[in-house]
Amino acid sequence: MGIQTRQVHLIRRPEGTAQPGDFRVVGATVPALADGQVLVENLWMSVDPYMRRSMSPDATDLEPWPLYKPLDGPSVGRVIESRNSAFTVGDLVESMSGWQEHFVSNAGPFVPYLSPNDSLAIRTAAGAQPKDYVGLLGVAALTAYRGIVHLANINPGDTVVVSSGAGTVGSLACQMAKVRGARVVTSAGSDTKVEWLRNVIKVDHAFNYRSQEIGAALKAACPRGIDVLLENASPEHLCACLPLMNLQKQVLIAGFVGTYNLSSKIGLPENFEYVLDRFLTIQSYPFMDSLDRYDQFVADMLQWRREGRMHLEETVYEGLEQAPHALCALLNGKHIGKTLVRLAA
């Protein structure tokens, strides 16, 4: 007989802002293992801004979430039964089978968003806690690392602008840019977040984009222009930065979080002439292109944390039933840093 567990299903596709009522927690029976399979108890799951796009039927970068079926998302768990010689009871494993307390895995090799959701990777990094694999060492962190460490052409003293700096990607990108010797300017949607960025993340300048005109605030904060932009917020923020970009510099697009509750398509920047006049490079990129350097990413992040140069603020929700509330709070900008859900001790 299989064990009893719980899953979160999407029961309707929202128009506009996502609501907890768009989800339902349901009971399920986990089947007995076949040869080669592994039973995993999830310990932690992540909620991320991209999930709003997964709720829409016309999602293009990832398959839309199905209705009335288990959802996918980053998670880390513990092997509690194994009929696969590569996995031992007690192994810590990462997968894309979040939004459920238990699942059966066919134990295929894990590649985030590309392999089947039940694929697994054993995680053993010294100094890492289980929750780190969906936080400090998770895919949002690797997105920031790919942009700032692998792609950005940063010289000491350069001005780097990171939009939406109080989220996971933004806050970690700000700190990585500081590690590389840059002068960092960022924005956030509340005075509380701005103060946190100044006092905890130690950026050089932060401003509230809700109470200040973005273009004027950026011009005042970047007297020598912008050398690298990591865009994480919105087309409006991107447009405000373009007139300040220095000649032959970079715009890296990690995402447009501010558009994820909208159904309209994103057009060209209204002032695209600056891209041509300044000979700018604009690049949207997938974090997966840095998976071949995952071990170095893990080593760097843990070392920077030990040295006090890397901090990730975390808001933790307790229990699977809180996962919809956690995602909706994240999409409404209620929290600083990373939002996690603890599923088991």
Three-class SS state of 19: coil
Which DSSP symbol is given to 203?
-
Burial of 266 (0-12, 13-18, 19+ CB in 10 A): exposed
81: β partners: 39
- Residue 307: count of CB within 10 angstroms of its CB: 9
At CA 289, angle to CA 179 and CA 309, rounded to 5? 15
Structure tokens at 303: 């070392």
Q: pLDDT at position 260, please?
A: 67
pLDDT at 341 over 80: yes
Give pLDDT tens digits for 47-58.
999 999 899 988
Q: pLDDT at position 197, please?
A: 98
Residue 308 CA to residue 219 CA, distance in Å, equals 31
Confidence of residue 261 (pLDDT cuts 50, 70, 90): low
Residue 231 CA to residue 189 CA, distance in Å, equals 15
Domains present along the chain, CATH in parentheses: 4-135+313-342 (3.90.180.10), 139-288 (3.40.50.720)
Residue 134 CA to residue 338 CA, distance in Å, equals 9
Tell me the mean pLDDT in the region 72-85.
97
Tell me the mean pLDDT in the region 173-183.
98
Q: Helices (H), strands (E): how many in the chain? A: 9, 15
Q: Residues of the chain with pLDDT > 90: what percent?
A: 87
Three-class SS state of 306: helix
Instruction: Report how far apart, in Å, the C-alpha atoms of 230 and of each of 7, 162, 236, 259 are.
Output: 35, 5, 14, 16
pLDDT at 263 over 60: no
Among all chains, which residue has been given the structure tokens 């222009």? 225
Tell me the mean pLDDT in the region 143-166.
97
Structure tokens at 265: 């398509």
Residue 298 CA to residue 83 CA, distance in Å, equals 29
Cβ–Cβ under 8 Å, residues 103 and 76: no
Q: pLDDT at position 329, please?
A: 96
Tell me the mean pLDDT in the region 66-70.
95
Q: pLDDT at position 97, please?
A: 96
pLDDT at 98 over 70: yes
> Please, how many CA atoms are within 13 Å of residue 172, restricted to the half-sphere of its CB?
29
Q: pLDDT at position 113, please?
A: 86
> Please, how many CA atoms are within 13 Å of residue 192, restricted to the half-sphere of its CB?
6
Residue 159 CA to residue 152 CA, distance in Å, equals 12
pLDDT at 21 over 60: yes
pLDDT at 170 over 60: yes
Q: pLDDT at position 16, please?
A: 85
- pTM here? 0.94
Give pLDDT tens digits for 125-153.
999 999 999 999 999 999 999 999 999 99
Give pLDDT tens digits for 181-230.
999 999 999 999 999 999 999 999 999 999 999 999 999 999 999 999 99
Rounded to the nearest integer, the mean pLDDT of the chain is: 94
Q: Residues of the chain with pLDDT > 70: what percent?
A: 97
- Biggest CA–CA distance in the chain, Å, is 68
